[in-house]
A = this chain, B = another copy of it.
C-alpha cells in the first residue's frame, strides 16, 4: 500500500464519489458532505494521491520556506517556540514565513488561503480552535498537495497530522495535588479556551487531582479564561470577591498568571502569604523581578525544535510514509513557595 501512483479517477472510484466531488475536496470547497469528505480523504491517504500540474508547482520540493502560523505574536511563549523553530530551520537552510492569526478563526482561514500562493515546503501551525472544520479541511489539503503539516501545542480533531504537544494534564495534576498536599481545600482554576487541547487538558488535570484526593468540585471556583490578561484579571477579581474565596488559584497559562497578579496587586494580596498561586508555563520576567511563582514548566524552545525536526523527517521520508507522529514532551513542577497555604486559609 501507499506506493502506487493514483489519479483523480481512481480516487473517485475508491471513494465512491464523483470526480467533481474529489475536486471540491481538494480545493476545499465547503459544498461537500462530511461523509464524502471523509471517504475522499481516506482514498487520498490510501493511494498517497498528489494532484499534479498546478498542485505540484505549489508544493515545490525545492522551496526553503516554512510557513509558521501562530495565534498571538505578543505572547512570549510563541516567541520561544519561534526561537526553537528558527534555530533548527537555520541549521538546515530553511526560512520561516510567519503568519499571525490573532486568535481569530476567520483570519486563520484567510491566512491558510493566502499561504497557498507561497511556495512553501512545509507548515507548522498552532491552530486557533481544535474544532474548526474549515481549518481542518485546509490543512488536509496542504498534505494532499505534498506540503506536510505539523501541529504545535494545540491540535485539530484528526489523527492525520504530525504533532508536538506536552503532557499538560499530568503537569496540572501534579501542581494541584501539591496544593492539596500542603493543605489547600478551596482551589480555583482560571481555564483556557475549551476549544483548545491545552485548555481542556489542563482543566482535566485539575479535575483528576480533586477527584483522586476526594475533594468536591465547586463550580464557582472554575472560571472561564481565554489565555489573555484582561479576562484572567476580571475572573480573579470575581474569585476574590466571593463570600468564601479560594485559598489557591491555578492559572492556565503565562498571560493568565499576569492577570491574576494584576488583580492580587490591586487588592493588596501577597502571593504565598495571603493567597496561593501556581501557573502553567514559566515566565522569565517574573524570575528577574524576584516573584517566586511556582509553575508547571516545559522546554518551550525544544517544542519548536521538535516540530521543525518532524517536518524535516517528512521532507526526507518516502512519499509512501504517512504522517500521524505524536511527540509528547514532559512537564516539570517547579516549586518556589507561591503554592503555600496562606495564613487566612489556615485560620478557616
Contacts and interface: CB of A to CB of B under 8 A. Distances in A.
Nearest to A115: B95
A103 to B, nearest CB: 13
A58 B227 CA distance: 41
B64 A117 contact: yes
A337 to B, nearest CB: 15
A284 to B, nearest CB: 8
Contact of A262 (B258, B265, B289): B289
Given A79-B74, A83-B74, A118 B289 contact: no
A230 to B, nearest CB: 10
B118 A65 contact: yes
Contact of A289 (B95, B96, B99, B261): B261
A100 B65 CA distance: 14
Interface in A82-98: 82-83, 86, 90, 93, 95-98
A65 B107 CA distance: 17
A288 B261 CA distance: 7
B73 A95 contact: no
A118 B265 CA distance: 49
Given A288-B262, A289-B265, A114 B95 contact: yes
B97 A65 contact: yes
Interface of A: 64-65, 73-74, 76, 79-80, 82-83, 86, 90, 93, 95-100, 107, 114, 117-118, 229, 233, 258-259, 261-262, 265-266, 285, 288-291
27 contacts: A64-B114, A65-B97, A65-B118, A73-B79, A73-B82, A73-B83, A73-B86, A74-B83, A76-B76, A86-B100, A90-B107, A95-B97, A95-B118, A96-B99, A97-B97, A97-B98, A229-B288, A233-B288, A258-B285, A258-B288, A262-B288, A262-B289, A262-B290, A265-B289, A265-B290, A289-B289, A289-B291
